Structure 1
C-alpha cells in the first residue's frame, strides 16, 4: 500500500495489484457459483428429457394399439365402454391391469 501526505493529511491508496487480486477473487467465486448452477440445470434437463422420451414412447404405443383396433369397435376389449373411467394403476394391481370389477370398485371407494 502506498501512503501519500497531501496537505498534512494521510491518504491511503490501494495498490493496483491488490485491486486486481480482489477482482480476480470475485470472478473465481462467480465461476464456482455458475458451475454449480450448470450442474443443477444439467440434471434438471436430463430429467425433463427422460420424461419427454417416456411420453413420446407412450404416444407411439397408443398410436400402434389404436391403428390395430378393428373399425366400428367390434372385437375390442370385453367390458370396455367408450368414455368409461380407467382406474389408476396402484400397488397390488396385476401387471395385466385385469383386476376384477369388484377389486376396482373397492379400490375406487377407498380413495
Structure 2
C-alpha cells in the first residue's frame, strides 16, 4: 500500500504538501488511517504530492489541514490520495484490503467535518 507523509505546518492556511511511500502491511508499518465522508469535489482544492498536484475534496482538505502536525510529518493512509483513483484495477485490490488497512493502523482518525461554531 501507499501511505503519505503529510508535511508539517504551523499555519492552517499554508499549502498541503506530502510525499507518498510504498509500505508492506506484512512488515507492520506505523501509520494512521483517516476515515471521512468524501463529499463533493470543489474546484481549487488540491494537495501537492510527490511533485504532482492532486485534486481532493473539500472534506479531505479540511481534515488534513486540521490534522497535520506543527513540527513533524504525520504518516497517514487516506484512500483518495493513497489509492490511484484512475485505476479501476488498483481500486478493486485496495478496497479488498481496506479492512486490513484500518485494522493494522495505529489509530483510525474519524473526520466528522468542520465545527459549526
Higher fraction of helix: 1
Where on the TM-score scale, by shorter chain, does this alignment land: which range? Answer: under 0.3
TM-score normalised per structure 1:
0.18
TM-score normalised per structure 2:
0.17
- State the structure with more CA Rg: 1
